[in-house]
Chains A and B, each alone.
With several copies, the nearest count.
Chain A
């Protein structure tokens, strides 16, 4: 009954994201807030709808409820469709038994039925922890033009950093002849971005073969791609230019937010022709009092600013009281920085309270031991008491008593 779709996207929302520990205690990594109004998943989802993809499966088994409620009917991303839309796909019991997802390839394999409902010619595989804007339609055109079985988006990285990535070695026409996972001596600087387009018929075959292979780790990068390359399937590298950042660690998440304050960074959120959509509660415009000072920062609806905000990103509904200082930091939705508190080089997660006169984080230049310095993180719903001190690099997931 359903019309055939040219392509659909499957988004690997991944597991707990343990490197973001305090931020992902109760939610999947793609639901982590980013950039004042967004959550990480808004970027691939908005890219999908802007690229003309109207069906997206989101694969997750870790705390899917927050994602489920965030995505809801898909309306904020215009993915509220009669035929298609956005679906959260957790593992389920079948009459033949039940399984948690055991790898990225296995997660797709377990949802072959979902994919086949739409009878797509191509399937786009995305992951849920990258910040970037990309027209996948151009990548699909490239895939078709090259007659590829699999197209992998690649980014040119500085050669000296290439050993941190999965590197694609390709002929000048784009055809890949070799992968190297974090090679000590990289032969090229084309790093995989974890974005693949597969011709579905081929992909289906390799997914089934992989599922039957007891030695496979059921992983795209480790199993599916090498198997295809081995079989001389046509695999090509699609060069991407522009801003792309993996936000899987505290440092990279902090950096990516700070990048928004840097006019030289090529991630334009103001471009009306490629909007990033999100679901946010409706709040009045933010209020800035006569006592406030704000410089080089982003401030969002529902905030009330009486203190000083400098080089920081404040999400919706944040309160900065009189005399408080927020500097080089990220304050996520609904958190309150009380009078006289100082927040520096920190990430304050949602609905937390930094008590009067408390100190969270520190500038690197003020740190006694630079090796022990790092971004301080205060988790969701955490209360830092009056006058308490949260040192740099802390990962706070519980309340801290005040100091009288």
Chain B
């Protein structure tokens, strides 16, 4: 009944293997980020802030932590009577193997969910991009340009911005904005249009493509759906101009956190009128002791800071002991850093205990990762 309604589909685990230890017990979507968030918070909030309120999250395995995080969708106002948030588990509609080879195949498992929705368009997104995007503008362009597909991209300079490891890049017709080519490149250079794995498509077209793909045993979104459409359908690019970064591996995960320390990045990621929602934990304000010293750091609620913290991101409920020094670190939830400990270039996962006077020093390109629950 709502005209031009858009529904959302989010892949929660397309990049699990690339993130290594971070996704050992969780999906890409539920990787902690930025002091109090999980990666999926950005995609979910972008959709919700863009009036997309029926959202299905496709999962494969390891999704208990994801379910714990999103719950019924309340923080994103997706706990709706009609529509709202849906977790689409692996056994949903097909065989029961619970595995899929690509996004297109994963969508097949969500076909009945998609079909039952009364939306006209579907916004399909991965959950590994950190950006605050007003997707309404993308929808507007899609409708105005009579496109059959619109692909979100960002113009980047490979090298400084991204390492150019296996990126999906697009070539665009400068006049029409039509996508002329899209492909994966292992070693691109210079200015490039990076596909952000966000696709807007008419629902009926998507349903047809999924059915076609199932009949032909095809599974890849880019290879079997977008590439064949280029040239035959109206496939447009929508350029995102703001801050965006993909979490591709531990290094880009670390780099994205360091980006957060720049005020201009925070301004772009956390505008007042498009908040990034996340699960509420009812933590107390941060308590700074008499001997604390902090510089260029982000500190989330529930922390107790008695030591020194520089160039670091401290997640909710962490405790930094007296005379401890934490420098260039990502300290996740409930990590306890003992008195006199000394940490540099450390990524400590949740519930880590660093005992008094321990020293751990990594290097910018090789941060030390400490697994969830470990004691050092």
Contacts and interface: CB of A to CB of B under 8 A. Distances in A.
Partners in one complex: yes
Given A36-B285, A294-B294, A285 B273 contact: no
Contacts of A289: 295-296
A2 B287 CA distance: 28
A282 B289 CA distance: 25
Contacts, number: 130
Contacts of B280: 76, 280, 282
A280 B278 CA distance: 12
B297 interface: yes
A332 interface: no
Given A35-B285, A37-B301, A83 B77 contact: yes
Contacts of B49: 3
B82 interface: yes
Nearest to A304: B263
Contacts of A129: none
Contacts of A315: 285
Contacts of A137: 2-3
Interface residues of A, number: 51
Interface in A252-309: 269-270, 273-278, 280-290, 292-301, 309
Contact of A1 (B269, B272, B302): B272
Nearest to B291: A295
Contact of B273 (A3, A35, A287, A301): A3
B1 A273 contact: yes
Contact of A298 (B275, B286, B296): B286
Contacts of A300: 285-286, 301
A80 interface: yes
Contacts of B263: 287
B270 interface: yes
B292 interface: yes
B329 to A, nearest CB: 14
A301 B300 contact: yes
B290 A296 contact: yes
B292 A294 contact: yes
B284 A287 contact: no
Interface residues of B, number: 53
A219 interface: no
A75 interface: yes
A211 to B, nearest CB: 31
B362 interface: no
Question: Considering the complex of A and B, which 10 residue pairs feature the smallest CB-CB distances, nearest first?
Answer: A36-B285, A285-B35, A285-B300, A78-B81, A290-B295, A298-B285, A300-B285, A82-B77, A285-B298, A288-B294
A293 B82 CA distance: 37
Contacts of A1: 272, 275
Interface string B309-325: 11001100000000000
B270 A277 contact: no
B367 interface: no
A135 interface: yes
Contacts of B118: 273
Interface of A: 1, 3-4, 35-37, 50, 52, 75-78, 80-83, 135, 137, 269-270, 273-278, 280-290, 292-301, 309, 313-315
B80 interface: yes
Contacts of A276: 282
A176 to B, nearest CB: 27
Contacts of A309: 288
Contacts of A270: 284, 302, 304
Contacts of B283: 37
B163 interface: no
B287 A284 contact: no
Contacts of B290: 295-296
B285 A299 contact: yes
B1 A299 contact: no
B102 interface: no
A299 B282 contact: no
Nearest to B287: A298
Contacts of A284: 34-36, 266, 269-270, 276, 298
Contacts of B313: 285
Given A36-B285, A78-B81, A287-B266, A282 B301 contact: no
B1 A275 contact: no
Given A77-B81, A282-B75, 5 more contacts: A37-B284, A37-B301, A80-B79, A284-B36, A294-B294
